[in-house]
Amino acid sequence: MLYLDSSALAKKYIREKGSEAIQQKITAQTGAEAIPFTSILTYAEILSVFARRAKEGTLTAREFTRARREFETDWAVGLAPLALDSSVLLLVRDILLRFSLKGSDAIHLASALWLRDAARIGTSGRAPKLIFATSDVRLGNAAVDRNLEVFNPELV
């Protein structure tokens, strides 16, 4: 199983350091039978990245349109967004007490932890391995501390 935070997923649509690595990881980890997971929060975060970069001029109008179209298609059929419900929010509280993270990063980590634990319950303790993809070093360190395997596409 692959969980993508927004910093990792954005690299799929915008050419930058780590773009090739994240595309290869998505292909290798998901294949035809599975799709990557992310938080429902990712929708707003990714669209915000596109809009900000277009306004700053680091994305052309054509690149902006292509990135947005590809993301919207993936959101509809190529990603499995996880809800931000009370079980995830309980994990957020504990994460923020333990780590110095932004609220959105805590939501991503809590969502991945919830996914890992739910998969264990659903498979009688033998859940498939979960890889947490992020380009944020601080978030990655917190994920390692919580026993997640971390993939940072910028360090490949």
What is the model's pLDDT at position 119?
Answer: 86
pLDDT at position 30 = 75
* Strand 149-151 to 37-39 pairing: unpaired
- Domain count across the chain: 1
Q: What's the mean pLDDT in 25-36?
A: 82
Instruction: Dump pLDDT digits (tens) for 37-94.
Output: 999 999 999 999 999 999 999 999 999 999 999 999 999 999 999 999 999 999 999 9
Distance of CA 62 to the CA centre of its chain: 25
CATH of residue 95 = 3.40.50.1010
**Predicted confidence band at 123 (pLDDT cuts at 50, 70, 90)?**
low
Average pLDDT over residues 7-31: 94
Confidence of residue 128 (pLDDT cuts 50, 70, 90): confident
What mean pLDDT, rounded, does the chain reach? 94
Q: Dihedral (C-alpha) 20, 21, 24, 30: value to the nearest 10 degrees? A: -130
Q: Which domain holds residue 60?
A: 2-155
Is residue 142 within 8 Å of residue 99, measured between CB atoms? yes
Average pLDDT over every residue of 102-129: 86
Stretch among 28-37, 86-95, 133-142 having the lowest mean pLDDT: 28-37
